[in-house]
C-alpha cells in the first residue's frame, strides 16, 4: 500500500492529497498528453530537520523541457519553488519520491495541444528501494521502444509508458523482475524506467542518445562519476549478444538508483561486480551529501521555520 504525503499541489494551491482529484473527462487521461518528472528526497543523515534532493535543478529543467512538447510554458524556476514549498508543507521524515506532472487539463475530446488548458500538480509518497539492491533478473522484451521520429522521446511523456507497462508485466508474469527493451534497429535501448550500462574489460558501455533512450539524469550522473573515477565510458549502440557475455550489467534511474543485473534470460552474469559497486557506493555517498566534490548535485531544504 502506498503511503502518500498528506499535502499535494493542485490547481495553483496546496490542498490535502485526498482532495486533489481530476474529472473523468480530463483530456490527458484519454490521450496521454502529459509529462512527468520524478525525484527522490531523503532526510539528511547529519540533520533530521533537513531534506536532501538529488539534482533538483536538472530535474526541474527536464520537466520544463518536456512541457514544451505539450505547448506549455512552465519555467524550471517555478517548478523548483513549488517543489521546495511542497516539501516544507509536508515535513517528510523518511525517504520519499516526488511526482510532478504537467498535463492537458481541459475536458475536451479532440486530440490536440493548441487552444487547450494545461495544468501542473505535485504529489509524493514514501519510497524505499524500487528494485532489489541485490540484483534483478531481466528478460528481453517482445515489445520495442518507440522511435523519436514518431514520439518525442527526450521528454518524459506519459503516453510512452504504455510500452514500459506492457514490457514490465510481460517480464514479471514470465518469471523475471524487469524487462530490457530493444529499439527499432534491434539494438539494446533501456529498461522499463531505467537506462542500462554494460561493463566489459573494465570499460563502461551504454547506448547513446541516438538509440532512442530517455535522457536520464541518473545516467548522466553515472557517466560523470565514471569519468571522474578514471573508468573509460563509451556511448555507442549495444548488441543483445553483448549483454550475455558482459562482466557486469546495471540499470540506473531515479527510482532504481543503481541496480545490478544478475541474470538476463537464461544467462547468469558474474556475481562479482566491482565497477557497479564502486559507482553505487559513490552515488549513495553523494545523495547523502557525504562527498564535498559533488555538493552542487545536492539541494538541501530546511524543514524549520
Answer yes or no: 156 catalytic.
Answer: yes
With respect to residue 294, please indicate whether it lies within any of the assigned structural domains: no
Q: Which of the listed residues 126, 156, 191 is the one where a domain comes to its end?
A: 126
Q: Are residues 140 and 283 in the same domain?
A: yes
Quick check: is 45 in a domain? yes
Query: What is the total count of domains within the chain?
Result: 2
Residue 149 shares a structural domain with residue 263: yes
Supply the pLDDT for residue 48. Answer: 84
Q: Could you write out the DSSP letters of every residue in the chain?
A: ---B-SEEEETTEEEEGGG----TT-HHHHH--EEE--EEEEEETTEEEEEEEESHHHHHHHHHHHHHTTT----HHHHHHHHHHHHHHH---S-EEEEEEEEE-----S--SSS--EEEEEEEEE---SS-TT-EEEEEEEEE---TTTS-TTS-BGGGHHHHHHHHHHHHHTT-SEEEEE-TTSSEEEESSSEEEEEETTEEEE--GGGS----HHHHHHHHHHHHTT--EEE----HHHHHT-SEEEEEETTTEEEEEEEETTEEPPS--HHHHHHHHHHHHHHTT--GGGGGGEEEEE---
**What is the residue range of 62's domain?**
7-126
Q: Which residue has the cell 531544504?
A: 301
Asked if residue 148 and residue 223 are part of one domain, the reply reads yes
Do 146 and 282 have their domain in common? Answer: yes
**Same domain? 269 vs 153:** yes
In a shared domain, residues 119 and 220:
no
Residues 276 and 140 in one domain: yes
Is the residue at 303 inside a domain?
no
- Is 105 among the domain residues? yes
Q: 89, 107, 126: which is the final residue of a domain?
A: 126
CATH code for position 202: 3.20.10.10
pLDDT tens-digit profile of 250-279?
A: 999 987 789 999 999 999 999 999 999 999
Using the 3D structure, point to which of 83, 103, 126 is the last residue of a domain: 126
Residue at 211 is within a domain: yes
* Residue of 156, 168, 257, 282 with catalytic role: 156
Assess if residue 302 is contained within a domain. no
State the CATH number of the domain containing residue 11: 3.30.470.10
Supply the pLDDT for residue 255.
77
In this structure, is residue 297 part of a structural domain?
Answer: no
| 116 and 158 share one domain | no
What are the pLDDT digits (tens) for 212-232? Answer: 999 999 999 999 999 999 999
* Look-up of cell digits 538541501: 300
Answer yes or no: do 57 and 151 share one domain. no
Question: What phi and psi, each to the nearest 5 degrees, are found at residue 104?
Answer: -80, 115
Q: Smallest Cα–Cα separation from 85: which of 9, 148, 11?
A: 9
Positions of the chain with pLDDT lower than 70, given as ranges: 1, 305
Cβ atoms of residues 204 and 250 within 8 Å: no
Q: Is there a domain that residue 131 lies in?
A: no
Give the pLDDT confidence score for residue 27 in this predicted structure: 98
Q: Could you tell me if 163 and 66 lie in one domain?
A: no
Q: Are 157 and 117 in the same domain?
A: no
pLDDT at residue 22, as a whole number: 97
Any residues with CB less than 8 A from the CB of 236 and at least 6 apart, and which? 205, 207, 208
What's residue 305's pLDDT? 66
Question: Looking at the structure, do residues 141 and 283 belong to the same domain, yes or no?
Answer: yes
Amino acid at each position: 500500500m502506498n503511503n502518500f504525503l498528506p499535502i499535494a499541489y493542485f490547481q495553483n494551491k496546496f490542498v490535502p492529497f485526498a482532495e486533489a482529484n481530476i474529472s473523468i473527462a480530463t483530456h490527458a487521461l484519454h490521450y496521454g498528453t502529459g509529462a512527468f518528472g520524478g525525484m527522490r528526497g531523503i532526510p539528511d543523515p547529519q540533520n533530521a530537520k533537513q531534506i536532501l534532493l538529488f539534482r533538483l535543478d536538472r530535474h526541474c529543467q527536464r520537466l520544463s523541457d518536456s512541457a514544451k512538447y505539450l505547448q506549455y510554458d512552465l519555467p524550471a524556476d517555478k517548478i523548483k519553488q513549488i517543489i521546495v514549498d511542497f516539501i516544507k508543507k509536508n515535513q517528510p521524515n523518511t525517504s520519499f519520491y516526488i511526482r510532478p506532472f504537467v498535463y492537458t487539463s481541459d475536458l475536451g475530446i479532440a486530440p490536440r495541444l493548441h487552444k487547450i488548458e494545461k495544468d501542473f500538480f505535485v504529489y509524493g509518497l514514501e519510497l524505499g528501494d524500487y528494485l532489489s539492491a541485490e540484483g534483478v533478473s531481466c528478460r528481453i522484451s517482445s515489445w520495442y521502444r518507440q522511435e523519436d521520429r514518431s514520439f518525442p522521446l527526450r521528454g518524459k511523456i506519459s503516453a510512452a509508458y504504455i510500452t514500459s507497462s506492457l514490457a514490465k508485466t510481460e517480464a514479471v508474469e514470465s518469471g523475471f523482475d524487469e524487462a530490457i527493451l530493444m529499439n527499432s534497429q534491434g539494438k539494446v535501448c533501456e529498461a522499463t524506467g531505467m537506462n542500462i550500462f554494460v561493463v566489459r574489460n573494465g570499460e563502461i558501455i551504454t547506448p547513446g542518445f541516438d538509440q532512442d533512450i530517455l535522457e536520464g539524469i541518473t545516467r548522466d550522473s553515472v557517466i560523470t562519476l565514471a569519468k571522474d573515477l578514471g573508468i573509460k565510458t563509451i556511448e555507442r549502440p549495444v548488441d543483445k549478444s553483448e549483454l550475455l557475455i558482459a562482466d557486469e550489467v546495471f540499470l540506473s534511474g531515479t527510482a532504481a538508483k543503481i541496480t545490478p543485473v544478475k541474470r538476463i534470460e537464461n544467462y547468469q552474469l558474474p556475481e562479482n561486480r566491482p565497477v557497479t559497486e564502486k559507482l553505487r557506493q559513490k552515488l549513495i555517498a553523494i545523495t547523502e551529501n557525504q562527498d564535498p566534490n559533488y555538493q552542487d548535485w545536492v539541494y538541501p531544504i530546511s524543514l524549520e521555520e
